[in-house]
Structure 1
Amino acid sequence: MNAPHDVRPARPEDLREVLAVFHAVDLDTAGETLLDAVDLEGFWSDPTFDAEHDTRLVFDGGRPVAAGSLFANGFARVDVVPDACGRGLGTLLADWVERRQRERGGDHCEQEAFETDTRTRTFLEARGYVPAHETWSLELPADATIAERPLPDGVVVRPMRAGEEHVVHQVVEDAFNEWEGRTPRAFESWKALVLDRPGMTQDHLLVAAAGDDVLGACVGMDGESDDEYWVAQLAVRRDQRGRGLAQQLLAVSYAAARARGRTRGRLDTDSRTGALSLYERLGMHVTLSFTSYRLTL
């Protein structure tokens, strides 16, 4: 680094400062902010996350200019605000992230780079990271709708009931754990990110069920802007796929959001799911694309 900087773990009261760093980088590389305070609070409340050991915040004259965070699944964010690039702060934090992950017994680290972010891609590749999978953010335009699908006899889409939380978590995990290289998420971590998220209602947590048998699940979340709604998780049991459950869950979830004034339906999908073409056929279009890079430690 060209000049001394203050580096310390982030504290709970630093959440807004960390978020400001993330936002500065996202606006520079993606043209929009992709994480809000509620999202970050959820990540920090995950019982596997310890801000004292799993974050670093870098200050220049009292101003936060870089942040590093390491999460339970080996995913890391290393962010340097644009006007502080070139000082070695990214290298400082990347060294720390990888060292910390080794201390935790992890065998890999993952970081993301947007398609147009040549600087981050070059940086990660120089450190030995290799592309693991592609991810796309999609949006359903405000003037488009997801067509409803008739469901098999006895199957309905309804809100998740009290007592079904563990079953819904298992449906999501079983589906997502089919992806190569994914680290499973324990129930308590999922609860912190989903069930304990402020503002969650029955419209945000939908299931496709035959009686008490949960066949699929859809988890929605209000976005940072007042018109934005994200489907964060959409999963159908392997033995129930191809019956229209995912499409109907998506249709009902977005319709409920629009009834509350959230007209922009969004979601992320990646190359491990094979679902991109489905979403595009339903009228969604790609707004952002990025690569997840993986480093074997």
Structure 2
Amino acid sequence: MHDTAAPAPTPPLPDGLTTRPLERSDSRAVFELMAAQERTDIGEVAIEEADIVADWAKPSHDLAARSVGVWDGEALVAYAELMGADRADTSVLPSHRGRGIGTWLAHWLQQRGRELGSTVVGMPVPAGSPGDVLLESLGFRVRWNSWVLRLPEGVTVPERALPEGYAVRAAEPGELPVVHEVLEDAFLEWSERQREPYDDFVASTTGRPGFEPWNLRVVLDPEGTVVGVAVVLVSDDGRTGYVDRLAVRRDQRNRGLAQALLVDAFARAREHGTTSSELSTDSRTGALDLYRRVGMEVTSNWVNRAIDLV
């Protein structure tokens, strides 16, 4: 059993700062805020504006009810957002750290989570970062670890032959429902969350800004049924191919399908001009050793810190 967090008064923000719910037109400002924080904390920018736009386009997400921006005049200097039941995201502009803004955001998230019926609220932060240290001091526990992995320059994932009769190709539009089913069935084996609505899935994949049909890869069994899926994206600067999601149906595992999908995804990304290959995984999946075995190296370590609300 974990100690639960008793409601506490939200501390005041520094004088001169104002707040309001975010609007879709704020996506660029949020991206620039998050990018500034990532440059400071991990030395590079991982977030893309398309990630934010796609999340905000999900029909189930009420941005006005689940977000807050902190403004210094016309400049967005911090924000917090609650997606679904328990996933939070926050950022504070590095130049505004040490003023109590992060503490205010943490209290705001707990209060809003309780109002929305959440039992726990958690968020990813780089391990050892100022955000990690702050959340620990506020009573947020580590739920799981996650890692970003990259293929070193000149290294490729070893080829893995598909079983006879299996094939990898781009998904066809009519296959989207089964693609969604394969992904959700696999991820819900270890992820404690509600099943993602199909319309939310569409908004974050085919509806994502910049999506092209080749980004959604599938493995077909000899009967032509989708049994594995990889979602591969290309960074805004065109240099990195990133496998956003990878899943194989439970009864089709241990046949090399995941590795074949990984090889295909990175190869297709290279065909579209990328020179770097990345993905992320976390401690709930047990996949870290698999990715290390095929030559990938950890480039950053994150922790998901959470606090119980009831």
TM range, smaller chain: over 0.9
Q: Could you report, residue by residue, the CA deviation over 1:6-35 in whole angstroms, capped at 9, with x for unpaired residues?
A: 111112222211112111111111111121
**How far has the Cα of 1:73 moved from its partner?**
4.2
Aligned to 2:207: 196
**How far has the Cα of 1:121 moved from its partner?**
2.0
1:122 is aligned, of 133, 137, 141, to 133
Specify whether residues 37 and 246 from structure 1 end up closer, same or farther in structure 2 by C-alpha distance, changes over 3 A only.
Answer: same
Which 5+ residue runs of structure 2 have no aligned equivalent? 1-12
Aligned to 1:219: 231
Which 5+ residue runs of structure 1 have no aligned equivalent? none
Contact 1:222–1:230 (CA<8 Å) still a contact in 2? Answer: yes
- The ranges of structure 1 where at least 4 consecutive aligned residues each deviate by more than 6 angstroms after the TM superposition are none
> Cα RMSD (Å) of the superposition?
1.4
Structure 1 residue 283 and structure 2 residue 303: aligned?
no
Separation of aligned partners in 2, 1:9 and 1:275? 37
**How far has the Cα of 1:177 moved from its partner?**
0.5
Q: Could you report, residue by residue, the CA deviation over 1:78-122 in whole angstroms, capped at 9, with x for unpaired residues?
A: 2111111122211222211111122221111111221231x2222
| AA matched with 2:182 | V
Structure 1 residue 205 and structure 2 residue 226: aligned?
no
Aligned to 2:50: 38
Alignment of 1:10-159 (within 5 A): 10-117=22-129, 119-159=130-170
Separation of aligned partners in 2, 1:183 and 1:144? 38
Alignment of 1:164-203 (within 5 A): 164-203=175-214
Secondary structure class of the residue paired with 1:164: helix
Contact 1:68–1:77 (CA<8 Å) still a contact in 2? Answer: yes
Q: Could you report, residue by residue, the CA deviation over 1:38-85 in whole angstroms, capped at 9, with x for unpaired residues?
A: 111001111122221111111113222111111124211121111111
Contact 1:139–1:265 (CA<8 Å) still a contact in 2? Answer: yes
Q: TM-score, normalised by structure 2?
A: 0.91
2:306 is aligned, of 257, 275, 294, to 294
Q: Could you report, residue by residue, the CA deviation over 1:166-197 in whole angstroms, capped at 9, with x for unpaired residues?
A: 10111011111111534432211111111211
Contact 1:203–1:253 (CA<8 Å) still a contact in 2? Answer: no
Identity %: 36
Q: Could you report, residue by residue, the CA deviation over 1:231-281 in whole angstroms, capped at 9, with x for unpaired residues?
A: 001000111111000000110111111111112111000111111111111
Contact 1:29–1:116 (CA<8 Å) still a contact in 2? Answer: no
Specify whether residues 252 and 94 from structure 1 end up closer, same or farther in structure 2 by C-alpha distance, changes over 3 A only.
Answer: same
Separation of aligned partners in 2, 1:3 and 1:73? 32
